[in-house]
Protein backbone atom coordinates (compact mmCIF):
# COMPACT_ATOMS: atom_id res chain seq x y z
CA UNK A 1 0.00 0.00 0.00
CA UNK A 2 1.37 3.44 -0.87
CA UNK A 3 1.86 6.09 1.75
CA UNK A 4 3.51 9.38 2.60
CA UNK A 5 6.88 9.01 4.32
CA UNK A 6 8.22 11.74 6.61
CA UNK A 7 10.68 11.68 9.49
CA UNK A 8 10.95 7.86 9.53
CA UNK A 9 7.18 7.61 9.72
CA UNK A 10 4.71 6.38 7.12
CA UNK A 11 1.25 7.91 6.86
CA UNK A 12 -1.22 5.75 4.96
CA UNK A 13 -4.83 4.54 4.96
CA UNK A 14 -5.57 2.04 7.73
CA UNK A 15 -6.00 -1.65 6.92
CA UNK A 16 -8.20 -4.19 8.70
CA UNK A 17 -5.07 -5.65 10.39
CA UNK A 18 -4.61 -2.26 12.11
CA UNK A 19 -7.95 -2.41 13.95
CA UNK A 20 -6.56 -3.97 17.15
CA UNK A 21 -3.88 -1.28 17.39
CA UNK A 22 -6.32 1.54 16.63
CA UNK A 23 -8.79 0.24 19.20
CA UNK A 24 -6.00 0.11 21.80
CA UNK A 25 -4.99 3.71 20.96
CA UNK A 26 -8.59 4.79 21.28
CA UNK A 27 -8.83 3.16 24.72
CA UNK A 28 -5.55 4.70 25.89
CA UNK A 29 -6.34 8.19 24.60
CA UNK A 30 -10.01 8.71 25.49
CA UNK A 31 -12.08 7.93 28.57
CA UNK A 32 -15.44 8.63 26.90
CA UNK A 33 -16.90 9.27 23.42
CA UNK A 34 -14.92 6.35 22.00
CA UNK A 35 -15.36 4.98 18.49
CA UNK A 36 -16.67 1.42 18.44
CA UNK A 37 -14.83 -1.40 16.69
CA UNK A 38 -17.77 -1.66 14.37
CA UNK A 39 -17.56 1.94 13.20
CA UNK A 40 -13.75 1.78 12.93
CA UNK A 41 -14.14 -1.25 10.67
CA UNK A 42 -16.65 0.56 8.47
CA UNK A 43 -14.25 3.51 8.09
CA UNK A 44 -11.41 1.16 7.05
CA UNK A 45 -13.67 -0.27 4.38
CA UNK A 46 -15.11 3.06 3.22
CA UNK A 47 -14.35 3.98 -0.38
CA UNK A 48 -12.50 7.21 0.42
CA UNK A 49 -10.30 5.63 3.11
CA UNK A 50 -10.91 8.34 5.73
CA UNK A 51 -9.04 6.49 8.50
CA UNK A 52 -5.28 7.00 8.32
CA UNK A 53 -2.46 5.63 10.46
CA UNK A 54 1.09 6.70 11.28
CA UNK A 55 3.62 3.86 11.51
CA UNK A 56 7.19 3.48 12.62
CA UNK A 57 8.07 0.29 10.73
CA UNK A 58 5.20 -2.11 11.45
CA UNK A 59 4.13 -0.34 14.64
CA UNK A 60 1.02 1.84 14.54
CA UNK A 61 1.86 5.01 16.49
CA UNK A 62 -1.33 7.00 15.88
CA UNK A 63 -4.42 7.40 13.76
CA UNK A 64 -6.74 10.10 12.45
CA UNK A 65 -10.26 10.00 11.05
CA UNK A 66 -11.46 12.62 8.58
CA UNK A 67 -14.99 13.25 7.37
CA UNK A 68 -16.28 15.36 4.52
CA UNK A 69 -19.76 16.37 3.52
CA UNK A 70 -20.58 15.01 0.08
CA UNK A 71 -20.74 18.38 -1.65
CA UNK A 72 -18.92 20.38 1.00
CA UNK A 73 -15.69 22.32 0.75
CA UNK A 74 -14.93 21.75 4.42
CA UNK A 75 -13.45 18.57 5.85
CA UNK A 76 -13.50 17.74 9.54
CA UNK A 77 -11.10 15.85 11.73
CA UNK A 78 -13.39 13.51 13.59
CA UNK A 79 -10.73 11.88 15.75
CA UNK A 80 -6.95 11.95 16.25
CA UNK A 81 -4.90 9.97 18.76
CA UNK A 82 -1.25 9.12 19.30
CA UNK A 83 0.17 6.26 21.38
CA UNK A 84 1.25 7.89 24.67
CA UNK A 85 4.50 5.88 24.42
CA UNK A 86 5.24 7.66 21.11
CA UNK A 87 4.29 11.17 22.24
CA UNK A 88 6.27 14.29 21.27
CA UNK A 89 7.94 12.58 18.29
CA UNK A 90 5.98 14.51 15.70
CA UNK A 91 3.31 11.83 15.12
CA UNK A 92 0.38 14.16 15.82
CA UNK A 93 1.84 16.80 13.52
CA UNK A 94 2.40 14.25 10.72
CA UNK A 95 -1.16 12.95 11.07
CA UNK A 96 -2.53 16.50 10.88
CA UNK A 97 -0.51 17.05 7.71
CA UNK A 98 -1.97 13.78 6.40
CA UNK A 99 -5.48 15.07 7.13
CA UNK A 100 -4.68 18.29 5.27
CA UNK A 101 -3.43 16.34 2.22
CA UNK A 102 -6.61 14.25 2.34
CA UNK A 103 -8.80 17.36 2.53
CA UNK A 104 -7.03 19.02 -0.41
CA UNK A 105 -7.18 15.82 -2.45
CA UNK A 106 -10.95 15.79 -1.90
CA UNK A 107 -11.42 19.38 -3.06
CA UNK A 108 -11.74 20.98 0.38
CA UNK A 109 -10.33 24.40 1.19
CA UNK A 110 -10.82 24.29 4.96
CA UNK A 111 -10.35 21.78 7.75
CA UNK A 112 -12.23 21.98 11.03
CA UNK A 113 -12.18 20.11 14.32
CA UNK A 114 -13.49 20.17 17.86
CA UNK A 115 -11.33 19.79 20.94
CA UNK A 116 -12.12 19.67 24.65
CA UNK A 117 -11.54 23.06 26.24
CA UNK A 118 -9.10 21.48 28.75
CA UNK A 119 -7.01 19.42 26.26
CA UNK A 120 -3.89 21.59 26.47
CA UNK A 121 -1.65 19.24 24.44
CA UNK A 122 -4.03 19.04 21.48
CA UNK A 123 -4.78 22.79 21.57
CA UNK A 124 -1.02 23.52 21.54
CA UNK A 125 -0.60 21.19 18.55
CA UNK A 126 -3.45 22.77 16.58
CA UNK A 127 -2.32 26.33 17.30
CA UNK A 128 1.24 25.48 16.30
CA UNK A 129 -0.05 24.04 13.01
CA UNK A 130 -1.98 27.18 12.10
CA UNK A 131 -5.50 26.31 13.33
CA UNK A 132 -7.56 29.17 14.75
CA UNK A 133 -10.20 29.02 17.47
CA UNK A 134 -13.46 30.31 15.96
CA UNK A 135 -16.19 29.22 18.34
CA UNK A 136 -17.44 26.68 20.83
CA UNK A 137 -20.11 24.05 21.42
CA UNK A 138 -21.40 23.96 24.99
CA UNK A 139 -22.07 20.49 26.52
CA UNK A 140 -20.55 18.77 23.50
CA UNK A 141 -19.01 15.75 25.20
CA UNK A 142 -20.63 12.87 27.10
CA UNK A 143 -19.55 14.38 30.41
CA UNK A 144 -20.96 17.81 29.52
CA UNK A 145 -17.60 19.45 28.72
CA UNK A 146 -17.35 22.29 26.20
CA UNK A 147 -15.70 21.84 22.81
CA UNK A 148 -13.60 24.57 21.21
CA UNK A 149 -13.91 24.75 17.43
CA UNK A 150 -10.79 25.20 15.35
CA UNK A 151 -10.35 25.84 11.64
CA UNK A 152 -7.51 26.10 9.15
CA UNK A 153 -7.95 27.48 5.65
CA UNK A 154 -6.17 25.30 3.09
CA UNK A 155 -5.61 27.87 0.36
CA UNK A 156 -3.12 26.92 -2.35
CA UNK A 157 0.40 27.36 -1.05
CA UNK A 158 -0.77 27.27 2.56
CA UNK A 159 1.18 24.08 3.15
CA UNK A 160 0.90 22.31 6.49
CA UNK A 161 3.75 23.55 8.60
CA UNK A 162 4.31 24.82 12.10
CA UNK A 163 3.68 28.52 12.49
CA UNK A 164 6.48 29.03 14.97
CA UNK A 165 9.47 27.41 16.65
CA UNK A 166 11.79 24.89 14.98
C1 LIG B 1 -2.57 15.71 21.33
C2 LIG B 1 -1.75 14.59 20.68
C3 LIG B 1 -2.44 14.14 19.41
C4 LIG B 1 -0.34 15.16 20.34
O5 LIG B 1 0.37 14.16 19.63
P6 LIG B 1 1.97 14.12 19.60
O7 LIG B 1 2.37 13.11 18.59
O8 LIG B 1 2.52 13.93 20.97
O9 LIG B 1 2.31 15.59 19.11
P10 LIG B 1 3.61 16.07 18.30
O11 LIG B 1 4.82 15.33 18.78
O12 LIG B 1 3.33 16.03 16.84
O13 LIG B 1 3.68 17.58 18.80
C14 LIG B 1 3.67 18.69 17.92
C15 LIG B 1 3.56 19.96 18.76
O16 LIG B 1 2.32 19.99 19.47
C17 LIG B 1 2.51 20.59 20.78
N18 LIG B 1 2.31 19.57 21.83
C19 LIG B 1 2.09 18.24 21.65
N20 LIG B 1 1.92 17.64 22.84
C21 LIG B 1 2.03 18.60 23.79
C22 LIG B 1 1.94 18.60 25.20
N23 LIG B 1 1.72 17.46 25.89
N24 LIG B 1 2.09 19.77 25.84
C25 LIG B 1 2.32 20.92 25.17
N26 LIG B 1 2.43 20.99 23.82
C27 LIG B 1 2.28 19.84 23.13
C28 LIG B 1 3.95 21.05 20.80
O29 LIG B 1 3.98 22.37 20.26
C30 LIG B 1 4.60 20.08 19.84
O31 LIG B 1 5.80 20.55 19.27
P32 LIG B 1 7.21 20.28 20.04
O33 LIG B 1 7.23 18.84 20.48
O34 LIG B 1 8.22 20.63 19.01
O35 LIG B 1 7.18 21.21 21.22
C36 LIG B 1 -1.54 13.40 21.66
O37 LIG B 1 -1.07 13.90 22.89
C38 LIG B 1 -2.82 12.58 21.91
O39 LIG B 1 -3.12 11.65 21.17
N40 LIG B 1 -3.53 12.91 23.00
C41 LIG B 1 -4.72 12.12 23.40
C42 LIG B 1 -5.83 12.15 22.36
C43 LIG B 1 -6.24 13.55 22.00
O44 LIG B 1 -6.30 14.44 22.83
N45 LIG B 1 -6.55 13.74 20.71
C46 LIG B 1 -7.02 15.01 20.19
C47 LIG B 1 -8.48 15.06 20.38
S48 LIG B 1 -9.15 16.53 19.63
- Whether 37 is covered by a domain: the verdict is yes
pLDDT tens digit string along 6-39? 778 999 999 999 999 999 999 999 888 889 999 9
- Whether 163 is covered by a domain: the verdict is no
Inter-residue contact 81 to 34 (CB < 8 Å): no
CATH of the domain at 89: 3.40.630.30
**Orientation angle between helical segments 91-105 and 120-128, nearest 10 degrees:** 60
- Whether 137 is covered by a domain: the verdict is no
Handedness of CA 39, 111, 26, 2 (dihedral sign): positive
Residues with CB under 6 A from ligand 1: 29, 80-82, 87-93, 115, 119-122, 124-125, 128, 165
Mean pLDDT within 134-149? 96
- Whether 152 is covered by a domain: the verdict is no
Determine the Cα–Cα distance for residues 99 and 129; give it in Å rounded to an integer: 12
- Whether 22 is covered by a domain: the verdict is yes
pLDDT tens digit string along 113-125? 999 999 999 999 9
pTM: 0.93
| pLDDT of 152 strictly over 60 | yes
- Whether 150 is covered by a domain: the verdict is no
Q: How many domains does the chain have?
A: 1
The closest of 16, 43, 37 to 25, measured between CA atoms, is 37
Q: Which domain holds residue 20?
A: 4-113
Amino acid sequence: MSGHVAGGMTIQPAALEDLDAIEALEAAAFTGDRLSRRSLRSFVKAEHRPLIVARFGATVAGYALISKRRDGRTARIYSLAVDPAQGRRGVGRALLQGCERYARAHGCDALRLEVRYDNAAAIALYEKMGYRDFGRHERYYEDGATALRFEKRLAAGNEASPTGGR
